[in-house]
Structure 1
Amino acid sequence: MFNTPLPTVNELPSTRKLLRSTVIALLVASGLLVTVVMPSEYAIDPTGVGRALGLTQMGELKITLAQEALADATPPQPVAPAAPAAPAPQVTQAQPIAKSVAQPEVTPTPALKTNQMTVTLKPGEGKEIKLEVLKNKTVSYEWTAAGGPVNYDTHGEPYNGEKGYFHSYNKGRQVLSDKGEFAAVFDGTHGWFWRNRSDNNVTISLKTTGDYLSVKQ
């Protein structure tokens, strides 16, 4: 039976070498956190490397899937009945003295934008189209699905809002089309998310008309 001899003091790594190895390990771990973990898990890509490697898109898809799951799990909120309006009091009107009234200035109505877009979904794939809309501006829309029904969620996200927060206007499962109008509840991006749960490719054709700033596809 042989005993392994203990290393001598000269054979052990010095404190300087151990410190250098520790610093190198920390730098490598920090680099992997910034370039791989943050883009792929949280869609945060301060260096741009994650998007170049396709990791940021993976993180964005994970966040979208989490939002869809949260929206599917949230039960619809009951709408409280409106209180009956109180009768207006009877007021005796005095006869006004006729006088000239200045005509108010007429503000020209801004021209509405109209866009027609298409997007194709592979089996199991989800995609979205968003519009930049300011608060209280309205958008009318109509879309159809060719190739099979899809799940959809019409929703909006505020500029610089909390991560994961969104407002849902309406949603549905396994439908071939939808049309309507919404008024933006805040400044931000508002639009549609579709998911193809079938085994075939599905093409979405969307037409929008309204007072919005731009289209994000």
Structure 2
Amino acid sequence: MYNAETPSRAELPSSSKLLRSTLLAAISAIVILVAIVLPAEYGVDPTGVGRVLRMTEMGEIKQQLAAEAAADASATPVGSPASTVAAVPANAGTAVSGTPKALDVIPKTAVAPVANSTWRDELTFTLTPGEGKEIKLRMTEGDKAEFQWIVNGGSVNYDTHGDGGGRSISYEKGRSVPADDGALVAAFTGNHGWYWRNRGPSDVKVVLRTRGQYTDIKQVQ
């Protein structure tokens, strides 16, 4: 049986080196916490770096969604999720003509079901009272994806947003909306999509249909 040789005292790091390494690690952790974690998770940006890197907005969105979840929990018991949407592989996208805009949305009253055969992907899931779900498209900057989602049995609060590469963006938000459709243009390479929350007293079924330029579609939360 092979035994490794025990290192000599001269080969071991000195106490001063260990202390210096520990201090450097602690300082690095504090810098990461203040400059990245606090802005991205809590919307707190004491240094201003998070605002420059566009992480503070993402943290503010998370805090707003968390506040809504707390309000839902205090108003209505939250049930277990009725269904789970797994990651869905998608085929190569088809280019859509037109000048890219941040978000081109058709008025809510104009939303109408479109034949399933015209869409590339379709996902259906149920939201119990107080439940939320997030689905994202993986897109390259400038990619354009058309979408349509319809709520059966009620309405939802939603946030259309994106994140990736240390950046985040909120395209549009709405409350008590029964349906929406339009074209989502990726402001940068990353994940772009929707977060829905059911603030009503009963279950609702959401049908999401997408097509256009994106690599795949997946459930994030």
How high is the TM-score relative to the length of structure 2? 0.47
How high is the TM-score relative to the length of structure 1? 0.48
Larger Cα Rg: Structure 1 or Structure 2? Answer: 1
